[in-house]
Chains A and B, each alone.
Chain A
Amino acid sequence: MSDLKLRVKEMIIERLKLEGMTPDQIEDEAPLFGDGLGLDSIDALELVLGIEQVFAVKIEDEAAGLRAFKSVQALTDFIAEQSKG
C-alpha cells in the first residue's frame, strides 16, 4: 500500500471514529458512500474537514467531492494531484 493511501485510510478511521477497523480492512476501490463503507453526508463533511487539516487540500464543491469520494483510491489520487499544484 502506498504511504499516502495508508495515511488517507488512517485519516478516515480516525476522523470518522471507525473503531476496531484497520487500514487493510478498507478496500481501495470500494465506494465510500452507499454500499461500500456506508458513510453518510455528515461523514462527508467530516472527511472534507479532515482532508483540509491533514493534507492541506480543499474540496471546493460537491463536484470535486463526487470525484474525490468515489473510493479510497480516487481520494488518494485527488489528494496527490491537488497537493502537487
Chain B
Amino acid sequence: MGMFDYEFMQRAFWAGGMIAVIAPLLGVYLVLRRQVLMADTLSHVSLAGVAIGAVLGFNPSIGGFIVALLGALIIERLRRNFRGYGEVSVAVIMTGGLALALVLMSMSSSLTRSFSSYLFGSIVAVSSTQLWIIGTVFALVIIYWVTMRRPLYNLTFDEETAQIGGTHVRWLSQTFAVLTGMTVAAAMPIVGVLLVSALMALPAALALRFAKGFTSALVIAVAIGLIGMFGGLTTSYYVNTPPGATVALLLLTFLLVGMGIQRIYYRLNRNKNDGYAPDIDSRRFWQRQNRSEQNSKVKTQVLNKR
C-alpha cells in the first residue's frame, strides 16, 4: 500500500484516528445537551486565536488552542446567564470570534495563504507538534471520560436532579466545555475549522437514531467516526480532495443512508408488529401492598391549625 509509505500519511492516520474517537464521544453528550453548535462556535473562535498567534508571532496552533479554551469557558458562563435559551451565547461568541479573525487576517497578508489550510483542513498540515497536542488531548479526554462517565450521564439526563444527587454540575459542565474546546482546537488542522462540528454532530446524530441504550450510542458514534475518518482520509489521498470535506461528506452519506435504511426497515416490519406497547398494569403497586403486612395502620388525623 503506497499510502503509508509517506510519513505524513501515517501522521494523518494517527491524528485522524484519535480525533475520530474523542470528537464523536463528546459529540453525543453535546447533542443531548443541546450544545452541538458549541463545537462550531469554538472552531470559529479558535480561528481568531490562530490569527492572533500569527500576528503576534507565536505558534498559531497554540494561539488557537488557548483562545478555544477561553471561548469554551465564556460560552459556559454566558449559557448560565441566558438560562432557557443558551444558544444566544453561541451566537454572541461566534460573531465575535469570526469578526476578530477576519480583521486580524486583513492585517497580515502572509496569513491568507496558510489560512485556507486551517479553514478546510489539510493532511500535510499535521506537524509532529500538532500530533503531540492531539495525543495529549486524546489522553485527557479518555481519562476524563473514564472517571467522569457516571456524573456525566446524570448531568446529561437532567441537570437539576444531578445537582441534588450531589454532582458538582457547574464544575463538570465547565470542565466538559474546556475539553470540547481542546478537542476542537486539536481537530482543526485535520478536518478544518468549517468541518469540526461535522465530526462531533454527524456520528452522534446517526448513533442516537439507532442506539437502544446510552453505552451503545457512544460505541456506535465512535465506530462511525472512525470509519468516516479513515474512509475519508483514504479517499482524499487517492482522489486528491480536501480531507475535511471528504470526511464530512462521507459522514453525511452514512447519516442519509442510515436514516433511509431505518425507514425502510420500520416500514417492512410494521405489519408484523402492530406497535402495541405492553403497558404493565398499574396494579403492581397493589401487589406490594398485599405482600407487606397490614397490621401497622397509621391513624392520621389532620387538624387545620390556622
Real binding pair: no
